[in-house]
Amino acid sequence: MPDKQFIATMKQVLLELECELTERLSHDIDAERPGIDSAVGRLSFIDAYQQHEMDLNTRRRSAAQLASVHGALARIEKGNYGICERCGQEIDPERLEYLPETPFCTDCNT
């Protein structure tokens, strides 16, 4: 199991990531960009629709990542952060540094 200093560092990283994702999700994408309804012509409609769909997908990924961050913070509170939820083995600290919200080791993530 990772040592207390490593877990404290990762908790800080996760809290910063949580703030960043929350901020990203708090912006109303429809208010920031001209809507599909304001598109003039067929190509601008297609461009506006494509941009809208990309924005929605980005929001979905951010929301999913935020849920994973919340899960990692909960695992820290429970005392099982850094332990794979599938096999129960320790997750490589380098993997946690790269992907701090991951609940799985490299072998179980595939």
Per-residue CA distances from 15 to 27, 72, 81, 83 (Å): 19, 10, 14, 19
Report domain extents, the chain: 4-25+38-109
Task: Tell me the pLDDT of the chain averaged across its residues.
Answer: 87
Residue 12 has a pLDDT of 98
What is this structure's pTM? 0.80
Look up the CATH architecture of domain 4-25+38-109.
Up-down Bundle (1.20)
Which parts of 27-91 fold into alpha helices (H)? 29-32, 42-78
Short-list 69, 72, 93, 77, CA closest to 17: 69
Residue 105 has a pLDDT of 95
